[in-house]
A and B are shown apart, each in its own frame.
Chain A
Amino acid sequence: MASFTIDDAGPRARSVQPRRRRPGAKLKRRNTLIGWSFILPNFIGFALLTLVPVLALFYISFTNWNVFGTAKWLGLANFRRLVHDASFRTALWNTVYYSVVHIPLTLVISLALAMLLNRKLRGVAFFRTAAFFPYITSVVAITTVWNLLFSPKYGPINDVLRFVGIANPPGWTTSATWAMPAVIIVGTWREMGYYMILFLAGLQTVPRELYEAARMDGANAWKRFRHVTIPCLRPTTFFVTVMLTIGSFKVFDIILLMTNGGPGQATLVLSQFIYNTGFVNYQFGYASAASIALFVICIAVTIVQFVVNKRRAA
């Protein structure tokens, strides 16, 4: 402990804080008290507003809690209903669809942009700022703008597509097939700048000597990327993947604002299903059971990623 070494440092320490002379139970208790006093203001809020709801979730999911607050214990009934619920299955499938496309796409684009910006090109500083801007702009603004950009008949995107010779451009958010790609495009567009900055920070930690050494050994650009950049970036890539995965599974606001889950159920994702069940139909118990699914998926995927990462690190 830091304080013990200080006590031996000089006579002055002893005269100022005589209580610290001997490392004892009293000091330990004092340290614990001070430590907790630092954490407590935040922890009270955190515990009450995050931990309690998370724990309550498990109880509520076993009940038929509704808007009047009356609840009957149902056992596993909610979960049984969930398994046979076609909407839930659609939501699960759509969430996986979104994630499976969005995660690699964003990963590759943000890494590529970071590699590009890590070189000394002119305009890099400007672009770094620009690329980050979508991430900090309100979703209401960007989804509205994109929705109108995507508008099938009069939107600029289809206008440009027709101009380059595509006679029947997609209906985007009005088409069951193209609504999800449209949402994925906006999601990737919005987040790539954020992950690019994480990658840039990671790239800056790669020692330059490694590149020099690889070059001496005759490694070409691809080999340097494969055998120097990728291994050195592993901690960053891991963090980005974890954040990206959780972010994809919980995707909600852009979908709620762009398509509201539609057309039909084409973009209905887990979060939207929970929202509809809870805040539109007021079936809090059933919505909580669906929440458990989302909760378990996120935790499980994160744990798997941690384990894989550890194994690779070893």
Chain B
Amino acid sequence: MTLVNGAPDTRTLTAAAARDRRADRLTPARQAARVLGYLVLIVAAAAVLLPFFWMLSASVRGSNDVFTIPVKWLPPTWKWDNYVQVWSQTAMVTWWKNTLLLSVVVTFLQVLTGSFAAYGFARMRFPGRDVLFLVYIGTIAVPWQSYMIPQFILFSKLHVSNTLWSIILLQAFGAFGVFLMKQYFESVPEELSEAARIDGLSEYGIYRRIMLPLSTPAIASLTLLTFVNTWNDYLGPLIYLRSPNLWTIQLGLQTFINNLYNQNYALLFAGLTLSVLPVAVIFMLGQRYFVEGIATSGLKG
């Protein structure tokens, strides 16, 4: 119950009502718990957000103002020029272009093939289906780090390493999309598909005209999660993209960090902020879908 509803009750608390321990009533103990709850919430929120706040604040400082003793949480002088500088001093444009291209292509392929396969797993019955799905699920327990070596050898033999294709192949066919979409498809009433089947729609038609339109939330979730995931990926590009003109924003920034001889951390923070910005915007716009996507994928273990 909210504070507003509960507050008048405490004032008119009679002995009889006190004995009647209902859930909604605000006893002193409950009120203390509530205050404690807020305190914990504030501390936790500060712990989560302070690093980001510091990053933003440091990104607009002069190079000597980043580390000060004692810590200054707000910039002593505002230097917006850092953003212009980092943009012109690094190959930020190339990195952005590569990352954007990869994220869009990977997301498109993952959503398309993932939802398509999910329909097969959720709505078709054929021998071998369950075994196959078990293999898909099983690979969730297999860390990529354990097969990155043979995968690298394979990609080298296929001559896709050190091309953008390597990252597309690496990310586009994951089991996660299949899993997420299957969970959602199974919640769509079977009667709808049956009605469509009676009306003469093929399975492909049911997938396209019934399931996909009804699954917009799940598609949105998968799209956002895959996009952000590809945008943020560091290990894949680290292993596969050697030529600087192929670098993604994460790889480029990390190289920039490693070569930061002049110790201008303010510039570095401006670069980091630029790499986080698109994700932050996407997240703000579609946070509901992020949360729902994560929640559905975890509902049935």
Contacts and interface: CB of A to CB of B under 8 A. Distances in A.
Contact of A132 (B70, B121, B290): B290
Interface in A267-298: 270-271, 274-275, 278-279, 284, 287-288, 291-292, 294-295, 298
Contacts of B170: 49
B104 interface: no
Contacts of B141: 242, 246, 298-299, 302
B124 A31 contact: yes
A122 B112 CA distance: 39
A3 interface: yes
B288 to A, nearest CB: 9
Contacts of B295: 197-198, 200-201
Given A235-B301, A236-B298, A294-B143, A144 B272 contact: yes
A239 interface: yes
B151 interface: yes
A35 B126 contact: yes
A24 interface: no
Interface string A1-43: 1110110011011001100000000001001101111111111
B143 A246 contact: yes
Given A2-B190, A17-B200, A131-B48, A139 B146 contact: no
A140 interface: yes
A146 interface: yes
Interface in A235-251: 235-236, 238-240, 242-243, 246, 249-250
A107 B283 CA distance: 24
A163 interface: yes
Contacts of B175: 46, 50
A39 B132 contact: yes
Nearest to B156: A69
Contact of B172 (A45, A122, A240, A249): A45
A194 to B, nearest CB: 6
A70 interface: no
A197 B142 contact: no
A264 to B, nearest CB: 20
Interface in A168-218: 189, 193-194, 197-198, 200-202, 205, 211-212, 215
A87 B148 CA distance: 20
Interface stretch (B7-15, B38-46, B83-91, B212-220): B38-46
Contacts of A41: 112-113, 116-117
Contacts of A236: 298-299, 301
A76 interface: no
Interface in B259-283: 265, 268-269, 272, 275-276, 279-280, 283
B126 A137 contact: no
B183 to A, nearest CB: 12
A136 B290 contact: yes
Contacts of A60: 149-150, 153
Contacts of B197: 3, 6, 13, 17
A275 B254 CA distance: 17
Contact of B44 (A36, A65, A127, A145): A127
A81 to B, nearest CB: 16
Interface string B125-143: 1110100100110011111
A222 to B, nearest CB: 12
Contact of B147 (A116, A159, A295): A295
Contacts of B269: 145
A201 B295 CA distance: 6
B173 A50 contact: yes
B286 to A, nearest CB: 11
Contacts of B169: 45, 49
B228 interface: yes
B186 interface: no
Nearest to B109: A45
Contacts of B23: 211-212, 215
Contacts of A149: 51, 54
Interface string A122-161: 1110111111111011111110111011010011100110
Contacts of A257: 234, 254
Contact of B283 (A12, A136, A198): A136
A51 interface: yes
A34 B287 CA distance: 36
A57 B153 CA distance: 10
A243 B113 CA distance: 24
B37 A116 contact: yes
Closest 3 A/B residue pairs (Cβ): A38-B120, A45-B173, A239-B301
20 contacts: A16-B198, A42-B177, A60-B153, A112-B40, A130-B45, A134-B51, A137-B279, A145-B272, A155-B67, A198-B294, A202-B298, A235-B300, A236-B298, A236-B301, A242-B141, A274-B149, A284-B153, A288-B150, A298-B141, A298-B143
Interface of A: 1-3, 5-6, 9-10, 12-13, 16-17, 28, 31-32, 34-46, 48-54, 56-57, 60, 65, 69, 112-113, 116, 119-124, 126-134, 136-142, 144-146, 148-149, 151, 154-156, 159-160, 163, 189, 193-194, 197-198, 200-202, 205, 211-212, 215, 235-236, 238-240, 242-243, 246, 249-250, 252-253, 256-257, 270-271, 274-275, 278-279, 284, 287-288, 291-292, 294-295, 298-299, 302
Given A2-B125, A288-B149, 5 more contacts: A134-B51, A137-B279, A140-B253, A163-B70, A274-B148
